[in-house]
Structures are given as C-alpha cells and as structure tokens.
Amino acid sequence: MTITKPAIDPEKEEPPNGKDTAVLSTDLDALVIVRSETSKEVDLEHNAAAVSVEKRADSVSVDSTPAGEPATEEEIKTLFHVVDDIPLGVWLAAFVASMERFAWYGATGPMPDQYTEMIPRIKIGKNGERVIADRELTISYIYNAYYWMVNIAGLAALGTTFLEKYVGFWAAYLPPVIAMAIGFIPLVLFRSKFLRNPPSGALLAKAAHALWLAAKGGFRMNAAKPEAQEADHKFIAPWDDRFIEELKLGLFACRILLLFPFHWLCLNQTFNNLISQAGQMVNSGVPNDAIKSTNPLTGIVFYPLVQKVVYPWLRRKQIRFRSCARITLGFFMLTAALAYAAGLQQLIYNAGPCYDAPLKCVTSQGGRIPNQISMFLQIPIYSVGGMAELFCLTTGTEHAYNQAPKSMRSIIQAVSIAMAGFGALLAMAFTPLAKDPHLVILYAVMAGILMAATIVFYVCFRHIDKEEIELL
C-alpha cells in the first residue's frame, strides 16, 4: 500500500515560531561569516601567489643577461656592484711604478748629503761682486733643481699616453724601461764622485725604541736617556745623551710636516679624480690623462723663474719670505685650485647631454659623447697646483732637513714620505663621495679642509721664520 503525503496549502501553512526564526537567522549569519573568511583566505593566498610569481619574473628578468655580457640599464641600477677581475698587466705596471717610486724616494734622502759645506764662505760672483755662499740657500737650490728635473721627467707621461693610444701598451712601457736603465750608467761610471758615508747602524729602529721608552716614561724624552733607564729599569740603553738630544731636535724639525697629509690628500686628486673629470669633457682628440702634463710644464717654467729671479730680488730688498710664509702660500694656492675644480665640476653637471650623470645617459651613445665643455678648462688646476708644489713640497722637506741634526736627516726623510702615506689613507675616507653626482661636494669639502689646515699651519708655525735653531 502506497502512502501519499498530503499536499500543504501555502496559505494555510503556519509560520515558524520566533525561536526557530532566530536560530535560522543565526545559522545563516554564521554561514555568511565563514564563507567571507574563507573568501578572504583564498584572496590572500591568490595575492601571495601573484607576488611570488612577480618576484620570480623580476628575478628572471634581472638575471636574464648571461655572465660576461654587457649589463642593461635596469641591471646596473638594481644589481650589487663589485670590483672586476684585475688583469695581470695592471699588476705588472703597478710593480714597475713601485720600483720607480722606490728609486725616487731612495734618491731623495742621500741627495743633499752630497753637499758637505757647513760654514758660510766668501765667494766672488760672476760680476765680480763679493757674496756669501750660504748653506741654507744652497740646500734650497738643490731641492728646487731636483724637483725641476723631476718635472722634466714628468713630461714622459705626455708621450707615453699618445704611444699607448696610437701604437700600443708595449710602446708606452718601453721609454720608462729605457730611462731606468740609463739611470744606472752614472751610478756605475761616476761612483767615485759620490760621497759615501759608512753605515750608521739601525738608526730608525734605535729611534723607535727610544721613543717607545720615552712614551712609557710619561712622554718625556729625558726618560729615554741612559741614566734614567739604568736607574728606573736597570736597562743599559745602546745610545748616549747626545743621541736623545739629537732625536729631540729631529722631532722638533718634523713638526712643520704634521699638516702635510692634508696637502697630499688634495694633491693626489690630480692622479685620479681629476683625470676622470677630464674624461667627462670634450677632449678635442687629446687623451684625457694627457692634460695632467700641464703640471710639470708649469714647474719647468716656474721653478727657474722663482729661483733665479723672485728669490734673489726678495733677498736684495730684504723681504723675509722664509719657510712658513712659503708653505702657507703653497697651501692657499692648492686650496684655490681645488675650489676651482669644484666650480668646474658644477659647470660639467650644468652642461648636456647627460648633466649630473656624465657618459651614463642614453644620449651619450654608450659613453662616447661627453658633456659639452672643454677639457682644457682644467689647465688652471694643474698650473696652480704645480706652483703650489714648489712652495709646499720643496720648502717643507728643505726646512726639516736644514733644521735636523746630521744623524737625524734620514729619519726626517722617512717622516716626510710617511706624510704622503697618511694623505693616501685620508683619501680612502672620501671614497663614497668620489662618484657622480657628488664630485662637487668632494672638491668643495677638500678645499675647505685644506683652507682650515692652512690657517692652523700659519697660526702654529708663523714664529719659525724668526727662530734659528742651534744644530748639534
């Protein structure tokens, strides 16, 4: 038997009671909330997957250029920059240059010692005038003549630059090799003409030991004397009181060199950043590293003019233009050169086509079109810098040499060379600024530092022109 469910008339169907309605409504709301949260989770998962896909796409895009191929502009902006592999030829050239520097610094020390006259003597000049042969002036002349010859040799950079560009690297390296070989000839043929002093022992090591003992004794040089060491530490010092007194005078003479690291910091710009600056400018067919030859050219002309005309005229007029005044003038001139370099760099940034990104924009056609400003506007930087070298480098070394005892002169030369090393270390602190578009700040900051050093130098050492130190 089949049972049929009776039909229900909608009009007669009883509505659900209030309790059932609330339960139903609550269930529906919960269902909506659950479905909403589920939808959000799905959307978040979808978005995360989309971001992951985009990141992978970007990664594929950045890494798409094979290793060894030119990078795209986007890759240059986004990828980390590192130092490239250095070719063996670069290291070989650096080794040869270091050997040249070894010879240069090695010759600077014993060179003035070849002049042994200590007492002023009467001399008859070319016009029959009775004059005094002055040792201090003679040492000054020796240093100026030496740097003049160094400037002549510095013109080799002009020739080797063109040889490298139009012939090849082998031709550029050949003249330096020949020049170094020629330098051995007078050393061998005229060895009997050189003054050869017997070795004085490990003077530098002895001086360093004495300074260490003085520092331990409260930074008093007298604490390093033999009597004090024997009484306080039962140590027999391998030197006498005279050695300590001479060391004190040597250190006293070195004080004038203490601010020279700032001079070297600024002068070294002519060997790196200023050459790069020239590469951003119109060179009219001249290699950008050839413009630095303006520096030795200035020295070749300016050194004899100052030595033969300016200094004698000042002496005849009894105008005192001694060490402090000359070094202060040299510092100021180099400051002006760096300030000019800052202004010139701003002119480069103001010029097209790449403005503050020289050689890096699309308009430069891969770095072939520089900003449209002449490279020869750099000439005043090198010319003024060359004149500054005469008043700074020659005067500083000459003064320290003249004021130091004979036994301490090799230490004076070592300290002078060390100042150049400290200047190179200071330059490393400015590496973050040594790139576009920060080069204006770099040159301006260096000019400001050297100007401050110039003022400090003059305030601290202006009295030395009036002092005469009695040498032992």
pLDDT at residue 459 in the model: 92
Average pLDDT on 445-466 reads: 90
Band the pLDDT of 148: cuts 50, 70, 90. Answer: confident
Length of the chain as a residue count: 472
- DSSP H or E stretch at residue 400: helix 395-403
Rounded to whole angstroms, what are the CA distances from 128 to 120, 125, 190, 288?
Answer: 18, 5, 32, 51
- Residue 66 vs residue 31, higher pLDDT: 66
Burial tier of 394 (Cβ tally within 10 Å: 0-12, 13-18, 19+): buried
Average pLDDT on 14-19 reads: 46
Measured CA to CA, the distance from residue 323 to residue 329 in angstroms comes to: 10
pLDDT at residue 379 in the model: 94
- List pLDDT tens digits, range 232-246: 888 888 888 988 988
pLDDT at residue 431 in the model: 85
What integer best gives the mean pLDDT of the chain?
A: 80
Please state, for a pLDDT cut of 90, what percent of the chain lies above it: 21
- List pLDDT tens digits, range 362-416: 888 888 899 999 999 999 999 999 899 889 888 888 888 777 777 787 778 778 8
- For residue 409, what are its two tokens? 């002169």
Measured in degrees and rounded to the nearest 5, phi and psi for residue 58 equal -65, -40
Token match 């270390």: residue? 425
35 in Cβ contact with 45 (< 8 Å): no
Amino acid of residue 99: M
pLDDT at residue 415 in the model: 84
Measured CA to CA, the distance from residue 58 to residue 52 in angstroms comes to: 10
- List pLDDT tens digits, range 275-309: 889 999 999 888 888 888 888 899 899 988 998 89
Count of beta carbons in the 10 Å neighbourhood of residue 436: 18
Measured CA to CA, the distance from residue 457 to residue 256 in angstroms comes to: 8
189 pLDDT more than 70: yes
Helix segments in 190-240, DSSP class H: 203-216, 226-233
pLDDT at residue 35 in the model: 46
437 in Cβ contact with 361 (< 8 Å): no
pLDDT at residue 72 in the model: 85
Q: What is the pTM of this model?
A: 0.72
Burial tier of 164 (Cβ tally within 10 Å: 0-12, 13-18, 19+): middle
- List pLDDT tens digits, range 311-349: 889 888 888 888 889 999 999 999 999 999 999 999 999
pLDDT at residue 201 in the model: 63
Count of beta carbons in the 10 Å neighbourhood of residue 139: 17
Measured in degrees and rounded to the nearest 5, phi and psi for residue 124 equal -95, 120
Average pLDDT on 168-184 reads: 84
The Cβ-side half-sphere exposure at 337, using a 13 Å CA radius, reads: 26
